Chain A
Amino acid sequence: MNPMFRNTILVALAAIFAAAPWALDEFSLNLVTRMLIFGIAAMGVDLLVGFAGLVPLGHAAFLGLGAYAAGILTDMGLESAFVVWPLAIMVGALGAAIIGGLSLRSSGLYFIMITLAFAQMIYYVFQSLRAYGGDDGFALTRNTFAGLIDPYDSRAFYFLTLAITLVIFLLLLRVVASPFGVALRAARDNEARLAAVGLPAFGYRLVAFILSGALCAFAGVLLANLTGYITPGYGSWPQSGELLMMVLLGTAGTIWGGLLGAAIFVALSEVLSEVSDHWMFYLGLLIVLRVLLAGGETTKLLKRLDPRRRADG
């Protein structure tokens, strides 16, 4: 992509996102906010799928951890987002450190199943929290911002989410090009060789796992605030599958792919469920077809279009 063209697109995108609150009704604005939130989670998952070559089927657990931590802390009387959000994200990161530490001793299909099993464990923890409504979940009062932002103003919340998404997006772009990111990708390509030049893959993968868990937790915090309600469903395994779908619908291995995929997925399930009660069937069909017909090819095509990727992988 030549720089002129790319900058034009970026400016256009910026204009669209800035104008959105005035062009859209509240429902659509919330939908876009939701896309951004899932975009954060999907970027986190993509860090593992696309850059570390690991497929986690349990990242909804961190979405849930973030949401529950935020909800429980708020319930305990902490209201400020400046306190609750970092703590909740840290809870997600801590959970990811433990689960990642255990799961990353394996790889491939084994990793997929172990992450799934650990996520189920966390799901059952949520379900057994009687003080927090058990399976029914509990309500969360939106966190406050020291009076700077009105948390119940949809536009303000949208801009806040947009800003967070943008910062995370730019940070992740740096991270994947950083020495850490290069080590992570090198481990994906050839773990044995990386060790043979002196870098153990485990630590880099674990940090990537923690980062992606923290991002999912952040998304969980935002989603809990947007929804105002928290249920164990946030951490269910179909939700984990949906996160992977988002990565696939975008383009694994590009940070913007996570954002794009989340947007497509949220829009798709919204549209399909308005058209038919059997939307799950059509969603499944689309996923299967996407994998079968276009799976590798689109990804390859998009990679070829981006000269930077071809140069350094």
Chain B
Amino acid sequence: MKSYLLGVAASVALSGAAMAQEPFRIGFLSTMSGVSGVLGQDQRRGFDLALEHLGGKIGGLPVQVVEADDKFSAADAVQQMSRLIDREKIQVITGLVASNVLMAIAKPALAKGALLISANAGPSPLAGPGCNPNLFVMSFQNDQWSTGVGKYLSDKGYKRVYFMGMNFQAGWDHTKAAIRNFTGEKVAEVYTPVDQLDFSAELSQLRAAKPDAVYAFYVGGQAIAFVKQFAQAKLDIPLFGGNGLSDPTLFEGQGDAAIGLTLGTHWSAALENPVNKKFVDGFVKAHGRLPSETAANGYDDVLMLDAAVKESGGKTTPDALREALRKVKYASIRGDWHFNTNQFPVQNIYMEQVERKPDGKLGLKFLGIAAKDVQDPYVGECKMAK
């Protein structure tokens, strides 16, 4: 069993009253193995780092984290959800890096009365009609990054933009949001299969269309291949995208090809605030590179839970935590944000750019705020039960 008890040793040293404290048991359900395992791994690293920074406690309570691997499969995810809730009797589940996994477990887990706190996935159906009092998404909704990017492209005066994305829900959400928020001409809207290796055919088409700028939504290995091939094609066209197009987990794989990419994000490693600085420095020290956005969400998740548990007066039942989360205030690594009525965040979208740092490594330059207090466009469809 990959679970562990944090802060127990510390509480033993304390008074008898502290020893009697029930630990806060939390399920961490994420993609830990296979090709997408890199996401869950970085999320977990952020999560663990925050626990470390908080002395192994959340809201003053010792924490027991029970990890479950969804194997990036809906059927396995539901099975693991059942393990956490039915066997481990855990009522609060976080992690949830993959959209398909969150979509798959949302209904059965909520039916069992659990509280779900997504620290990454934010699919649109759950922001609209599928919203639920016990479902919080603390990271972002797919449309948000590209809302910022679309506005940024308009503000910077680009006239003709070529849009490309991976052919799945998140790809459609992101790309279409960028298009909606861009006021110029859409040259093309192209979707490529999720396991495509070679983009030469699409890049040849793109070159022939001569756009002013390109918006692309790619993640993981696809982002590496796309960004490299885009650079190798020597198109001399600026490339924009969401945070997934290039992040520090991909820097090594993308190399110089990533330099100059302009990215929209709800959080940046280059954001200047003390909490973020502590996080980024701590992460670099522990893992030798900048944290990714999934790591940041994992970290921020713990900070938010810490504040919520304090708010609830140490109660960790779904009901108590839900009420606490709805009014939670804490110093987030991404600056001020709050939950909307659909329990997805309302937050600023920043722009950052990949650049070579003086030490020779790739890093991120903060460009500024692209859009303030962005909410997702689905909130109106959410009829939240009380």
Does B193 touch A at the CB level, under 8 Å? yes
A196 to B172, CA, bound (A): 59
Give the docked Cα–Cα distance between A252 and B297 (Å): 47
Using known A-B contacts A134-B169, A136-B168, A234-B75, determine if residue A228 contacts B33 with beta carbons closer than 8 Å: no
Which residue in B100, B105, B111 is a CB contact (below 8 Å) of A137?
B100
Chain A contacts of B1 at CB under 8 A? 274
Task: Report the nearest B residue to A223, measured CB to CB.
Answer: B75
- Contacting residues, chain A, for B104 (C-beta < 8 A): 137, 139, 227-229, 231
Structural contact, A27 and B103, CB atoms closer than 8 A: no
A217 at the interface (CB under 8 A from B): no
| Binding site secondary structure of chain A | helix
Residue B87 is within 8 A (CB to CB) of chain A in the complex: yes
Contact B83 A134 (CB under 8 A): no
Q: Report A28-66 CB contacts with B as 1/0, cut-off 8 Å.
A: 101100100000000000000000000000000000000
Contact A136 B79 (CB under 8 A): no
Q: Is the CB of A133 within 8 A of B74?
A: no
Closest to B103 in A: A136
Nearest CB in chain A: distance from B380 CB, A:
22
Q: Are A27 and B83 in contact (CB under 8 A)?
A: yes
Give chain A nearest CB distance to B85 CB in angstroms. Answer: 8
Is B33 a contact partner of A278 (Cβ separation < 8 A)?
yes
Category for how many chain A residues contact B:
35 or more
**A26 adjacent to chain B (CB < 8 Å):** yes
Chain B residues contacting A280 (CB-CB under 8 Å) are 33-34
Residues 14 to 73 of chain B near chain A (Cβ within 8 Å): 32-34, 37, 41, 69, 71-73
- Which residue of chain A has the shortest Cβ distance to B84 in the bound complex? A27
Contact B69 A27 (CB under 8 A): no
B155 contacts partner chain A, Cβ-Cβ < 8 Å: no
Q: Chain B's nearest CB lies how many Å from the CB of A207?
A: 29
A153 within 8 A of B: no
Which of A134, A226, A233 counts the most B-chain CB atoms under 10 A from its CB? Answer: A134
A134's nearest neighbour on chain B, judged by CB, is: B168
Residues A127 and B82 in contact in the complex (CB < 8 Å), given A228-B104, A229-B74, A280-B34: no
Would you call B194 and A127 a contact (CB within 8 A)?
yes
Interface string of B117-158 (1 = CB under 8 A from A): 000000100000000000000000000000000000000000
- Evaluate contact between A26 and B78: CB separation under 8 angstroms: no
Contact A31:B79 (CB < 8 A) given known A127-B193, A274-B2, A279-B33: yes
Q: Please determine whether B87 and A28 come into contact, CB atoms closer than 8 angstroms.
A: yes
Which residues of B lie under 8 Å from residue A191 when comparing CB positions?
none
Give Cα distance in the complex from A185 to B238, angstroms. 64
Residues of chain A having any CB pair with chain B under 8 Å: 25-28, 30-31, 34, 124, 127-128, 130, 133-139, 152, 223, 226-231, 233-234, 270, 273-275, 277-280
A–B Cβ pairs within 8 angstroms, 29 of them: A25-B87, A26-B86, A27-B83, A27-B87, A30-B86, A31-B79, A127-B168, A127-B193, A130-B172, A133-B169, A134-B167, A135-B167, A135-B169, A136-B100, A136-B103, A137-B74, A138-B103, A139-B103, A139-B104, A227-B104, A228-B78, A228-B107, A233-B72, A233-B75, A234-B75, A270-B79, A273-B33, A274-B1, A277-B32
